């Protein structure tokens, strides 16, 4: 596999597909919290803690769908090829982003978000795609390219999402109608769906298959879907010890990160007199755009530089965890002014995440190869456990937030961010204990 050549334009087209898809995905970030709060209030949940609990549940619905189906999609990509599974995810995004914007109740929104997560295994399969076409020396930089797509997506998507929210008030003109007044969050969802459709059009015409027929696993007869899901998760015991630890570290990091993701806008949207920052969807969009910008510089620039090639991958990964943890623990101590100070912990989070993600995926790919494991199955298992972490994180965050948001003394809204920080430190210690088996310098 080390001598395998990249299909024509494979990385360039994959980068564009992932970027456009992620722009669509991140468009919802600035307004999702406000949308869910409006739906919850409309369904009779008016108490603050009870209302905000639904934000975590809504975020968990998407990742619950991923948890159930991403391991299956990863295994299917080993059998059918990477390209068809990427296509499926893009079609799923197109349909369900638009449907989500039309949601009029919590239950409809929950079902749509679950179905969207169930159909989208693109990131796990994209990483397996890179593993198919890359030599060990190329992996860190190419995983960094996917990270750069994340960074650009997080820069462009939230910025557009914040601007496009509530066009009735912000734009007027053709949007001055009762329908747009009653659907303030539909326009960004519509744009997100259309972007996924554009990405599908690009991929179906120009994205080559990365996995040759002779490298695909044969279709095996298995039991029902539940048994297959259980098999993928329990099957982690058949992976090498180093791969299992890397999956654990990734899971801990994702729990910490999604705790922050769930509660950050809840915190920034709180009135200033209650300890929050009083920000709206547009300002939050600007903040997440800044996070994306830092991610682009780190993953699209530094991670592909000669300096990054000389730094030990494991040390870079541990440093990323600790810097991200610093940013997470800093958040609740912020004040609305000066605004520049608010960007400092967000820069730490973006830097830490930018160093962690590509290095973790590089080590994962190398360890899977050294253990002669199917890369699609390994990445599918990681994404499955990652999805489980993204279920636990939002729900845990929502419950802790609901119980402490009105608290005093030690147990206040600060608690949830402290918990997030502690988890990244635990992940760093787990990573330090890792014993690698692969030679990182192999070509």
This model's pTM is above 0.85? no
pLDDT for 103:
92
The answer to whether the beta carbons of residues 74 and 102 sit under 8 Å apart is: no
Mark out the alpha helices in 207-338 (DSSP H runs).
Answer: 225-234, 241-269, 281-295, 306-310, 313-330
Please provide residue 240's backbone torsions phi and psi, each rounded to the nearest 5 degrees: -70, 155
**With DSSP H G I counted as helix, E B as strand and the rest as coil, what are the percentages for the chain, rounded to 5?**
80, 0, 20
- Name the token pair of 327: 């940013």
The model's pLDDT over 47-102, given as tens digits with 9 standing for 90+, comes to: 877 888 898 888 888 878 877 777 777 778 888 888 888 888 889 889 998 999 99
Q: pLDDT under 70 in the chain at which residues?
A: 1-10, 121, 140, 147, 214-238, 300, 303-308, 376, 380, 384, 436-443
Distance of CA 412 to the CA centre of its chain: 27
CA–CA gap between residue 59 and residue 56 (Å, rounded): 5
Measured from the Cβ of residue 257, the count of other Cβ atoms closer than 10 Å reads 22
- Reported as half-sphere exposure (CB side, CA atoms, 13 A), residue 279 has a value of 25
pLDDT for 205:
85
Domain 10-215+224-432, CATH homologous superfamily name and number? MFS general substrate transporter like domains (1.20.1250.20)
pLDDT for 439:
54
pLDDT for 228:
57
DSSP letter for 165, please. S
Closest CA relative to residue 88, chosen from 127, 119, 126, 128: 119
| Site of tokens 């409309």 | 42
| Site of tokens 């014993």 | 435
9 dihedral zone (left: phi>0; alpha: psi -120 to 50; beta)? left
Please provide residue 261's backbone torsions phi and psi, each rounded to the nearest 5 degrees: -60, -35
Distance of CA 164 to CAs 149, 153, 267, 357, 370, Å? Answer: 21, 16, 22, 30, 47
């Amino acid at each position: 596999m080390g001598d395998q050549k990249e299909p024509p334009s494979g990385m360039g087209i994959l980068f564009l597909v992932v970027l456009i898809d992620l722009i669509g995905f991140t468009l919802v970030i600035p307004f999702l919290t406000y949308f869910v709060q409006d739906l919850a209030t409309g369904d009779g949940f008016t108490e603050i803690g009870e209302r905000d609990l639904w934000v975590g549940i809504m975020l968990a619905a998407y990742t619950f769908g991923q948890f159930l189906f991403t391991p299956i999609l990863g295994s299917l990509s080993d059998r059918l090829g990477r390209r068809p599974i990427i296509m499926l995810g893009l079609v799923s995004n197109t349909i369900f982003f638009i449907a989500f914007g039309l949601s009029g109740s919590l239950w409809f929104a929950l079902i749509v978000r679950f179905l969207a997560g169930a159909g989208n295994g693109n990131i796990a399969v994209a990483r397996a795609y890179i593993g198919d076409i890359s030599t060990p020396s190329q992996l860190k930089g190419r995983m960094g390219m996917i990270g750069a797509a994340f960074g650009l997506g997080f820069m462009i998507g939230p910025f557009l999402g914040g601007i496009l929210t509530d066009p009735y008030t912000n734009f007027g003109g053709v949007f001055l109608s009762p329908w747009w007044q009653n659907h303030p969050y539909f326009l960004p969802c519509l744009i997100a769906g259309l972007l996924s459709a554009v990405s599908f059009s690009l991929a179906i015409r120009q994205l080559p298959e990365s996995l040759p027929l002779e490298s695909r696993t044969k279709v095996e007869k298995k039991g029902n879907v539940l048994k297959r899901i259980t098999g993928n998760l329990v099957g982690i015991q058949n992976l090498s010890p180093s791969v299992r630890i890397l999956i654990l570290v990734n899971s801990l990091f994702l729990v910490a990160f999604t705790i922050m993701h769930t509660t950050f806008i809840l915190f920034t949207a709180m009135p200033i007199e209650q300890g929050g920052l009083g920000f709206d969807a547009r300002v939050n969009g600007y903040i997440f755009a800044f996070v994306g910008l830092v991610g682009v510089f780190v993953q699209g620039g530094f991670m592909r530089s000669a300096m990054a090639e000389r730094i030990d991958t494991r040390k870079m990964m541990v440093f990323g965890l600790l810097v991200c943890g610093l940013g997470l623990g800093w958040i609740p101590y912020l004040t609305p002014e000066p605004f520049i100070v608010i960007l400092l912990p967000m820069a730490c989070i973006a830097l830490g995440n930018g160093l962690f993600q590509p290095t973790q995926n590089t080590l994962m790919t190398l360890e899977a190869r050294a253990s002669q494991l199917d890369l699609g199955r390994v990445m599918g298992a990681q994404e499955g456990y990652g999805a489980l972490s993204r279920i636990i994180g939002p729900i845990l965050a929502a419950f802790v937030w609901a119980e402490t948001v009105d608290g005093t003394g030690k147990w206040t809204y600060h608690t949830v961010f402290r918990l997030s920080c502690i988890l990244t430190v635990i992940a760093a210690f787990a990573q330090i204990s890792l014993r690698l088996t692969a030679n990182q310098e192999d070509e």
